Amino acid sequence: MKRLLILEDGTIFEGTAFGADVDVTGELVFSTGMTGYQESITDQSYNGQILTFTYPLVGNYGINRDDYESISPTCKGVVVRENARLASNFRNQMSLDEFLKRKNIPGISGIDTRALTRIIREHGTLKATMANVGDEIEHLESQLKATVLPTNQVSQVSTKTPYPAPGTGRSIVVVDFGLKHSILRELSKRECNLTVVPHTTTAEEIIEMNPDGVMLTNGPGNPEDVPQALDMIRGIQGKYPIFGICLGHQLFAMANGAKTYKMKFGHRGFNHAVREIATGRVDFTSQNHGYAVSSEDLPSDLMITHVEINDESVEGVRHKRFPAFSVQFHPDAAPGPHDASYLFDDFMEMIDIFKGDEPTV
């Protein structure tokens, strides 16, 4: 069955349908990762987006039980050059096609993803519609132009009630803005006793839990659409060590007076080189974001710790007075390089120093 990918600039691609048989509209983005399609599709930071993979062959090792970043993915659709007909891997449980059918996510293959990526790089992220051949094109195009993309992505993907991930070590409150399971795995490796809470949790509610530290997770969308989180962050900083990742990084910076901006096409992939300013160390990192913290007029309480080598965008900040820091990239990787996983150890050490204990990691 043929399927169309219709862009808001009028460009139309025709390809082959796979996955679920549904029409969808969303923001069209691309990822440069060579592997890790399962982790990317199940990353809630792609909520509401049509995800294009620039690597030409996707689905060749299938879907397995270990690589989920969430159980119920919320991306709108998947675009690939070639969908592998045969999945070969000892962990394989089902094909990408079957997985997308189960999750009600449509896919389209046979697309010139290089040409599509060039359009996004030139024009920036675009709205797009995926629909079957035979649907009225003019109607689809007018409907696409009239579509207003939602701004409540975080509320769609954040947990509605708190839940524990028990451990025997440091007590960490994890504020869920659309977290990746790999963040919980990294904290669990360090024997942390975790409590995951909704994004609407207040500073007072966190203080009642009396944690050793607070993690602000990744998540989708524009940080300006989550204003209630800023008061929460202001209410707990200085009382507990804070570590923010991706959207959590942007919110932490905004809570301290920084500004954010929408990038032309964002950073999405697993090969982004980031330099730590203090040491000159360069890490290759996993990234997935369409907004960034502005380096202009940065508040005096914040210092930039990391920058992206290619475009010099802000990749990390640290508070000058409080035990708190954040990074734009994903030190938990999954998928991607593990160069920056040491930041979780830095967080553990920050907690121990703040408590007056000897660091145990």
- Report yes or no: 288 and 43 within 8 Å, Cβ to Cβ: yes
CA–CA gap between residue 30 and residue 198 (Å, rounded): 29
Closest C-alpha to 272, from 231, 312, 304, 234 = 312
**DSSP characters over 344-355:** HHHHHHHHHHHH
Which residue among the candidates 246, 249, 319, 339 is catalytic per the annotation? 246
332 flagged as catalytic: yes
Asked if residue 45 belongs to a known ligand binding site, the reply is: yes
210: β partners? none
Joined together, the tokens standing for residue 44 give 């809630």
Distance of CA 87 to CAs 57, 83, 93, 97, Å?
A: 11, 10, 9, 10
Asked if residue 156 belongs to a known ligand binding site, the reply is: no
Joined together, the tokens standing for residue 163 give 């839940």
Query: Which residues are CB-contacts of 228 (< 8 A; sequence separation ≥ 6)?
Result: 199, 200
246 flagged as catalytic: yes
Asked if residue 288 belongs to a known ligand binding site, the reply is: yes
Which letter, b or e, does each residue of 14-49 get, where b requires 16 or more Cβ atoms within 10 Å of its Cβ? ebebbbbeeebbbbbbbbbbbbbbbbbbbbbbbbbb
CA–CA gap between residue 302 and residue 259 (Å, rounded): 12
- Can you tell me which residue has the tokens 């290759």? 284
Q: How far is CA 28 from the centre of its chain?
A: 15
CA–CA gap between residue 67 and residue 179 (Å, rounded): 14
Which residue among the candidates 212, 332, 339, 352 is catalytic per the annotation? 332
The annotation places the binding site at 45, 219, 221, 247, 250, 288, 290-291
The annotation places the binding site for L-glutamine at 45, 219, 221, 247, 250, 288, 290-291
List active site positions. 246, 330, 332
